[in-house]
Structure 1
Amino acid sequence: MILYTMMPQELIYQNEHDDFGRQRIVSYEGIPLLVEMNAGQECRILRIMSSDPTHYMDERYTPGSMITLTQLS
């Protein structure tokens, strides 16, 4: 079977629940992001899940950046 997807193999075939249990897809200012939840509402951006190229050009949403969520989507 061949699986054509833009998602990385680690998200499709998850080995450890602890590694991926803190990851969530959220909408932050209208941009879908894959984030890793930290303490409280603070999280680290892992991946931009948008198809809009302008979202990738915004330096505020680069992977590794920290954001604070006020409400999960």
Structure 2
Amino acid sequence: MILYTPLSELDIFPISETDYTKLRSISYKGKNIYVENISDGNYKIIQLISTDPSDFLNENYSPGTLISYQDSNDI
């Protein structure tokens, strides 16, 4: 089935509540991002929230990028 819609995939097929508890909105290096908790201190970037188009060209904020941190001030 092909669905032609301007809606996001998550709007049509929402994630389960157990998967939703893994997501978290954080500020990373001054940018707001949604991340998924992979393990203790390791996160996978899900989505960048920004109004600056140049932020989306920065590979550090690409969806799927793994980030880790040692200090809570870094995130």
Instruction: Calculate the TM-score normalised by the size of structure 1.
Output: 0.74
Q: Compute the RMSD of aligned alpha carbons.
A: 2.5
Give the match's secondary structure for 1:60: helix
**Post-superposition shift, 1:71?**
1.8
Residue by residue over 1:33-53, the C-alpha shift from the partner in whole angstroms, topping out at 9 and shown as x without a partner, is 010011111100001011111
Larger deviation, residues 13-22 vs 36-45:
13-22
Runs of 4+ residues over 4 Å off in structure 1: none
What residue number does 1:71 align with? 72
Does structure 2 conserve the Cα–Cα contact (< 8 Å) formed by 1:14 and 1:20? no
What residue number does 1:9 align with? 11
What residue number does 2:33 align with? 33
Structure 2 unaligned residues grouped into runs of 5+: 1-7
Q: Which amino acid letter does the alignment assign opposite residue 72 of structure 2?
A: Q
Higher radius of gyration, 1 or 2: 2
Larger deviation, residues 21-30 vs 63-72:
63-72
Residues in 2 aligned to 1:37 and 1:64: alpha-carbon distance in whole angstroms: 12
Percent identity over the alignment?
25
Residues in 2 aligned to 1:25 and 1:41: alpha-carbon distance in whole angstroms: 15
**Post-superposition shift, 1:15?**
5.4
Instruction: Calculate the TM-score normalised by the size of structure 2.
Output: 0.72
